[in-house]
């Protein structure tokens, strides 16, 4: 099993450009997450999907949209990128979505917005 995969690994955008970060998991997990990681701030939740067809805002959703395309895939879209969105983005999944679950993380996407 590949686990959680993310594409692309690296991306450079100009301010105002749009892009979609892709995430897929092959573990038949119900819940999926998008986080951003910034130095000294740990991981902050952007959006969450408890199950196929549902999405909810996390701590820092402004400037982002998500789509839970099916059980396997959860994409994150930046409609108009800003320098403040320069970060490392991690996708994660959990079997059920409850608080006892272990989160399984992808390798990350390093995004730079100029």
Partner 1 sequence: AQSVTQLDSQVPVFEEAPVELRCNYSSSVSVYLFWYVQYPNQGLQLLLKYLSGSTLVKGINGFEAEFNKSQTSFHLRKPSVHISDTAEYFCAVHLTTDSWGKFQFGAGTQVVVTP
Residues within the interface to partner 1 (CB under 8 A):
4, 31, 33, 35, 40-45, 48, 50, 56, 58, 90, 92, 94, 97-103, 105-108
Shortest distance, CB of residue 74 to partner 1, whole angstroms?
A: 13
| Shortest distance in whole angstroms from residue 14 CB to partner 1 | 25
Residues 8 and 94: their CA atoms lie apart, in Å, by: 22
Q: Are strands 42-49 and 31-38 parallel, antiparallel or unpaired?
A: antiparallel
84 three-class SS: helix
Q: Which residues of 20-41 are buried (b: 16+ CB within 10 A; e: fewer)?
A: ebbbbbeeebbbbbbbbeeeee
Q: How far is the CB of 88 from partner 1 (least distance, A)?
A: 10
Q: Which is nearer to partner 1, 56 or 79 (CB)?
A: 56
- What does R_g of the chain's alpha carbons equal in angstroms? 13
> What pairs with residue 111 in β-bridges?
11, 87
Of 14 and 40, which CB lies nearer to partner 1 in the complex structure?
40
Q: Residue 59 or residue 79: which is nearer to partner 1 going by CB? A: 59
Q: Considering beta carbons, is residue 17 or 72 the nearer one to partner 1?
A: 72
């Amino acid at each position: 099993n590949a686990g959680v995969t993310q594409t692309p690994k690296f991306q450079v955008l100009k301010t105002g450009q749009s892009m979609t970060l892709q995430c897929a998991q092959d573990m038949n997990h119900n819940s999926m997450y998008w986080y951003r990681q910034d130095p000294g701030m740990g991981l902050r939740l952007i959006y969450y999907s408890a199950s196929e067809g549902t999405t909810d805002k996390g701590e820092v959703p402004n400037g982002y949209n998500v789509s839970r395309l099916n059980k396997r895939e959860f994409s994150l879209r930046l409609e108009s990128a800003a320098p403040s969105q320069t970060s490392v983005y991690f996708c994660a999944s959990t079997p059920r979505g409850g608080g006892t679950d272990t989160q399984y993380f992808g390798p990350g996407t390093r995004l730079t917005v100029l």
